[in-house]
Structure 1
Amino acid sequence: MHHATPLINTIVGGLVLAFLLGILASRFRISPLVGYLAAGVLVGPHTPGFVADTSLATELAELGVILLMFGVGLHFSFKDLMAVKSIAIPGAIAQIGVATLLGMLFSTLMDWTPVNGLVFGLCLSTASTVVLLRALEERQLIDSRRGQIAIGWLIVEDLVMVLTLVLLPAYGNMLGSDAGSSALSWQDLAITIGKVVAFITLMIVVGRRVVPWVLAKSASTGSRELFTLSVLAMALGIAFGAVKLFDVSFALGAFFAGVVLSESELSHRAAQDTLPLRDAFAVLFFVSVGMLFDPLIVINEPGAVLATLAIILLGKSAAAFALVKLFGLSTRTALTISVSLAQIGEFAFILAGLGIALGMLTQEGQNLVLAGAILSIMTNPLMFAVLERYLARDATDEEQYAEQKPGEEPQSPMEICHHVLLVGYGRVGSLIGAKLAQAGMPMVVVENARPRVDALREQGINVVMGNAAKAEILSLARLDCAHWLLLTIPNGFEAGQIVAMARAKRPDLHIVARAHYDEEVTYITERGATQVVMGEREIANSMISLLQLETSLVPQTDDSVPGQRSLPF
């Protein structure tokens, strides 16, 4: 019997195509986001073949927005922002202003209204969090000064866009009112701002106490399902309550739900447990955005598409470069920030959708935003590749020094040999480090978390700050004459990279690494590790060893042989 399953058809069709095209994009070294958007185009109404239910896709996209913004809030860090506030805050605001003005200038050429130009320019002004962070991680720039400035810049952009999503509807109402009701419109705007302030105050005063308490209570039950459910219930519930009780957006509610949740000691676990669901709905969000895109605009209006792309790749980048140089930073840093911001993503889609709903952006404008996003995301890896070649050729010692984090002193190679090189000083690494120190064994720790580095230096322990995946960091830790290399970091892929690099330089080195899964054990072993320790296996071995199989401790049975006992494993 035939069943009408539009929801299942939409989810299955979107996810399967997104997976296939995402894999294809990755093979061509393009961001998988391009594949997700292309999947949406293929199942959308503007292309032949299967057409997904657009109304259901919109609902799924709304869930995707909530979970995307929840993830942004969950990883939001005031500390990271404050470290580079003197550059990131004024720089990001000025760059948003320049991009918006360029968008408004473009709108005059397209005979759009100033409001259309304003929304269009705002859509082009903010970079994609997903694309930028992934690009920095792939190039191991997260911990560099350039990476810290780019992330701080991005945080400011996100905050401005969240505020824009809240104020844009009220601004639209003001523009739609006549002169006689302008006072009422200003009053509506004041009421909207008041509701936003009330919601934020409630979250800061009450939410930061209640939410961590609820998390702790759900975690104490011992049920992983209940804990995950509590995180999702709070994220979705707060977002829904923000709309129903305070008339603010789902985006703002979800963002502050994440911010409040990030202050809990269980925030890392909350992020890990909800990551699969957030990723799945984020994919559906990008698919639903692609469904709105009419690819014929690239053929019918190539000039407009190229002009949009020029604003994103050239206008924004030039503004960012000039602003960073204005603050006295190196060309190396300015170029990295420029390339990092030369793309647009999720906020552009959210803002464009809101502009369409409010009648503040034309369908043509939305198509140009989507075309600009797809093309800029595809172009961004190529720009990074060109940048890396240029920097590798022309970098000076002064620029290498400027690459250090704010307040970080230059590091010199350790004056030590025949030592243990310990990578990572978290829960596992700190236990190993304590035993090595107790045994009096010489040791050098490689750690990228500044607080841990400062604490180790206060204890007189040799420590190199940085990512061990970088050859220069291992060189500072004297890999050339180390006797052991112990990798305690939880990332199996990164550990494999370090093992391969260390084995190429030191074929005789004893390397012991940590893994969580059988696949990671195989991966790390194939790259040259002497031994790989998997936590679950070691726990099982320890529990077996604690059984104490001596006859004095083993209960005897009538048919048992004295001194012997067979075990069922």
Structure 2
Amino acid sequence: MAGEAVAHAADAAHGAIDLVPVVAMLAAGVVAVPLFKRFGLGSVLGYLAAGLLLGPSGLALIADPASILHLAELGVVMFLFIIGLEMEPSRLWALRKQIFGLGMLQVGGCGVLLTGIGILLGFAPVVAFVFGMGFVLTSTAIVMQILGERGELSSESGQKIVSVLLLEDLAIVPLLAVVALLAPTGEDQSMLARTIGFAAAIGAVLLLIILGRRVMNPFFALLASAKVREVMTAAALFVVLGAALLFEVSGLSMAMGAFLAGVLLSTSTFKHQLEADVEPFRGLLLGLFFMAVGMSLDLGIVLGNWQIIALSVLCFMLVKGFAIYAIARVLRSSHGEALERAVLMGQGGEFAFVLYTTAVSAGIIDGPTNAIFTATVIISMVLTPFALIGMRYFMPRHVQSMDGVEAADGLTGRVLIIGFGRFGQIASQPLLAMRHSVSIIDNDTDMIRAAAQIGFKVYYGDGTRLDILRAAGAGTADLILVCTDDKVQTTRIAELLRDEFPLARVMARAYDRSHAIELVQAGVEYQHRETFESAVAFGGAAINLLGASEQEAADVIEGVRNRDQQRFELQLGGEDWRNLDRLLISNAQEQARESGVNVPETVAESAVARSAVVAGN
């Protein structure tokens, strides 16, 4: 009996949870994603490659990718919820023309062309329609991830892409209805089912709107009063998944349910709390989604049908990209914007899997055909990061307009300022107030025209070119101020001035401490870190608000400046960091004693250690 109990316990323990796939997925993601990003291939391709490695076509550590994919779709759901939180109703209303204008034009145009391509590839018209319309639905997850990494979600071009994606997500609903209509079933039954389904969809939307406007805010206010963080997190997940479930059982898209819930909560006082609670789950599940897509790629099917799959991928991506580019150009987008949109949205997406699976259930396509269609979409998703890399070679170079801009030539100012951004504009004011003769050059024509509108004469010139420096009067200027905001560019200018104009007195804007040391070594007479004084003043104001007198604040700030100067001189001389730490600890204790404050040695050491961490600032 005891032996049987031990055996049952061992079986139970063994069958409770299999950690091997979980650990394998985490390890693959942790290794692949940073590696792919390091080589400029993007995180999406890293996740896809990791999934392909772990799936049935690789090491086969994951035997059922479909089950992983169903769970991982929650990552797309949560991603759209967060996007919805940023889309206030007024902002969404402002995008209505792009959503229902540009979006419908792109979906309709691409759908017609891709259906025609499917027929040319030898598929029956109905099957070609399903194949083409599935490929029309761009991968929201991939595009949103790439736009988010670039910080372009709120840009004008990014908003156009988001608008089209929203329309495509909405399009899955009528497409599923069309598939049901095309299915070989009884007319009366299908008509009744469609009527019930349509009523259920409208009811789900109205119910979610009512709950979002009337119930959710009081609900979160009640939970917030309990001051239990994990309950708020659970409530955030409840709202996201509840909205997704409501739309799913109503025959709509889970992602659209989550998006609508986010929009309804976008004006809530709990908006940022909800975003912070959902974000960690969104990131993990979205990564898992991409891995599941990679696992779903069956290399056996690809190899067995490689001709039709390769031809389908090539034709569909090229035709869809061409259609998107043409529509963008007709609507007066620039060549660069249209090209980027075409490449970014040229692949199929995750909703194609839903459409193809529904078509199989309806008897429109069979299993092997579904596998070919699915492989076509997955390969197109895998190719997208590579297509974006190749796109860089075809993007037009930005050419600055020289209208109203005069090039530097024969300038003779006593002071030469190179770079007229925020820093240079402020630095020029004392010089102009003292009526010094100042010449200013910059390589940003937009800024030069803007400066002209407020009375500044700025000449066009690149300070990293020796001929421009000569034309700008660097050889005769008494003082040269290098105020450019690029570290490499600033150092290059300082080195040029040292080598070609050794008698010139040079002052330079430094980015941080290490950059300041570079500039001193490049021969700059005076350098100043761009944020140091403002940060010191800011800290002084902080201790004033906390009760320090003006004199106490002044003494503390002076101590900060002195310690910083000592640290800088020691680093410039290559002193050992341990000697630097000991000196700063001693100085911190001495300053505390002079101020009459008892500061234990460990506190002083801690303060110095913290300052050492940011010694590069």
SS in 1 for 2:259: helix
8 Å contact 1:305–1:372 — kept in the other structure?
Answer: no
- Residue in 2 that maps onto 1:392: 398
User: Which one of 308, 315, 318 corresponds to residue 314 of structure 1?
Assistant: 318
- Residue in 2 that maps onto 1:288: 292
Q: Report 1:50-129 matches (<5 A).
A: 50-54=61-65, 56-76=67-87, 86=97, 89-109=100-120, 111-129=122-140
Residues 61 and 43 of structure 1: CA distance in aligned 2, closer, same or farther (over 3 Å): same
8 Å contact 1:37–1:289 — kept in the other structure?
Answer: yes
User: Which one of 251, 258, 261 corresponds to residue 257 of structure 1?
Assistant: 261
- Residue in 1 that maps onto 2:372: 364
Residues 132 and 509 of structure 1: CA distance in aligned 2, closer, same or farther (over 3 Å): farther
Q: CA deviation at 1:311?
A: 3.9
8 Å contact 2:102–2:164 — kept in the other structure?
Answer: no
1:343-378 CA-to-partner distances (Å, cap 9, x unmatched) read 344444554555556655512211111112111332
8 Å contact 1:87–1:149 — kept in the other structure?
Answer: no
In structure 1, the gaps of 5 or more residues are 399-412, 422-441, 443-469, 483-496, 514-520, 551-560
In structure 2, the gaps of 5 or more residues are 1-9, 404-418, 428-432, 434-442, 459-483, 495-506, 520-527, 552-592, 604-617
Residues 230 and 9 of structure 1: CA distance in aligned 2, closer, same or farther (over 3 Å): same
Q: Report 1:416-431 matches (<5 A).
A: 419-420=425-426
SS in 2 for 1:342: coil
Q: CA deviation at 1:543?
A: 9.5
Residues 309 and 68 of structure 1: CA distance in aligned 2, closer, same or farther (over 3 Å): same
Matched, 1:203 2:235: no
Matched, 1:174 2:181: yes
Matched, 1:276 2:308: no
8 Å contact 1:92–1:157 — kept in the other structure?
Answer: yes
1:8-67 CA-to-partner distances (Å, cap 9, x unmatched) read 333322232123222232233222212212222222223344235446414422433432
- Residue in 2 that maps onto 1:9: 20
Q: CA deviation at 1:281?
A: 0.5
Counterparts of 2:223 and 2:516 in 1: how far apart (Å)? 36
Q: State the one-letter code of the partner of 2:381.
A: A
Overall identity of the aligned pairs, in %: 24
- Residue in 2 that maps onto 1:161: 169
8 Å contact 1:127–1:344 — kept in the other structure?
Answer: yes
Counterparts of 2:177 and 2:516 in 1: how far apart (Å)? 55
Counterparts of 2:287 and 2:247 in 1: how far apart (Å)? 24
Counterparts of 2:517 and 2:109 in 1: how far apart (Å)? 51
Residues 100 and 15 of structure 1: CA distance in aligned 2, closer, same or farther (over 3 Å): farther
SS in 2 for 1:50: coil
Q: CA deviation at 1:108?
A: 3.1
Matched, 1:232 2:237: yes
Q: Report 1:400-411 matches (<5 A).
A: none
Residues 242 and 343 of structure 1: CA distance in aligned 2, closer, same or farther (over 3 Å): closer
Q: CA deviation at 1:254?
A: 2.0
Q: What TM-score do the two structures reach when normalised by structure 1?
A: 0.67
Q: CA deviation at 1:194?
A: 1.7
Counterparts of 2:103 and 2:327 in 1: how far apart (Å)? 9
SS in 2 for 1:338: helix
8 Å contact 1:132–1:340 — kept in the other structure?
Answer: yes
Residues 419 and 256 of structure 1: CA distance in aligned 2, closer, same or farther (over 3 Å): same
8 Å contact 2:72–2:288 — kept in the other structure?
Answer: yes
Q: CA deviation at 1:169?
A: 4.4
Residues 49 and 342 of structure 1: CA distance in aligned 2, closer, same or farther (over 3 Å): closer
Counterparts of 1:63 and 1:8 in 2: how far apart (Å)? 21
- Residue in 1 that maps onto 2:561: none
Residues 366 and 329 of structure 1: CA distance in aligned 2, closer, same or farther (over 3 Å): closer
1:99-129 CA-to-partner distances (Å, cap 9, x unmatched) read 3234333433555454433332223213334
8 Å contact 1:107–1:117 — kept in the other structure?
Answer: yes
Matched, 1:375 2:380: no
1:113-172 CA-to-partner distances (Å, cap 9, x unmatched) read 5443333222321333454455556767666xxx524522432332332341x3444444
Q: CA deviation at 1:186?
A: 2.2
8 Å contact 1:30–1:378 — kept in the other structure?
Answer: yes
Q: CA deviation at 1:234?
A: 1.0
Matched, 1:191 2:196: yes
Residues 177 and 534 of structure 1: CA distance in aligned 2, closer, same or farther (over 3 Å): farther
Counterparts of 1:477 and 1:39 in 2: how far apart (Å)? 49
Residues 234 and 141 of structure 1: CA distance in aligned 2, closer, same or farther (over 3 Å): closer
- Residue in 2 that maps onto 1:566: 598
Residues 335 and 88 of structure 1: CA distance in aligned 2, closer, same or farther (over 3 Å): farther
8 Å contact 1:80–1:152 — kept in the other structure?
Answer: no
Counterparts of 1:194 and 1:524 in 2: how far apart (Å)? 68
Counterparts of 1:543 and 1:293 in 2: how far apart (Å)? 63
Residues 209 and 471 of structure 1: CA distance in aligned 2, closer, same or farther (over 3 Å): farther
Farther-moved stretch of structure 1 (50-59 vs 258-267): 50-59
Give the structure with higher Rg (CA).
2
Q: CA deviation at 1:328?
A: 4.1
Counterparts of 1:79 and 1:502 in 2: how far apart (Å)? 43
Residues 397 and 158 of structure 1: CA distance in aligned 2, closer, same or farther (over 3 Å): farther
Counterparts of 1:109 and 1:293 in 2: how far apart (Å)? 25
Q: Which has the higher contact order (CA 8 A, sep 6+)?
A: 1
8 Å contact 2:80–2:255 — kept in the other structure?
Answer: yes
User: Which one of 16, 30, 39 corresponds to residue 41 of structure 2?
Assistant: 30
Q: CA deviation at 1:217?
A: 4.0
Counterparts of 1:380 and 1:360 in 2: how far apart (Å)? 35
Residues 355 and 318 of structure 1: CA distance in aligned 2, closer, same or farther (over 3 Å): same
- Residue in 2 that maps onto 1:341: 345
Residues 170 and 283 of structure 1: CA distance in aligned 2, closer, same or farther (over 3 Å): same
8 Å contact 2:137–2:348 — kept in the other structure?
Answer: yes
Counterparts of 1:419 and 1:148 in 2: how far apart (Å)? 29
RMSD value, Cα: 4.8
Counterparts of 1:481 and 1:223 in 2: how far apart (Å)? 60
Q: What TM-score do the two structures reach when normalised by structure 2?
A: 0.62
Count of residues in Structure 1 that have an aligned counterpart in Structure 2: 469
Residues 171 and 345 of structure 1: CA distance in aligned 2, closer, same or farther (over 3 Å): closer
- Residue in 1 that maps onto 2:271: 267
Residues 316 and 270 of structure 1: CA distance in aligned 2, closer, same or farther (over 3 Å): same
Counterparts of 2:353 and 2:514 in 1: how far apart (Å)? 41
SS in 1 for 2:215: helix
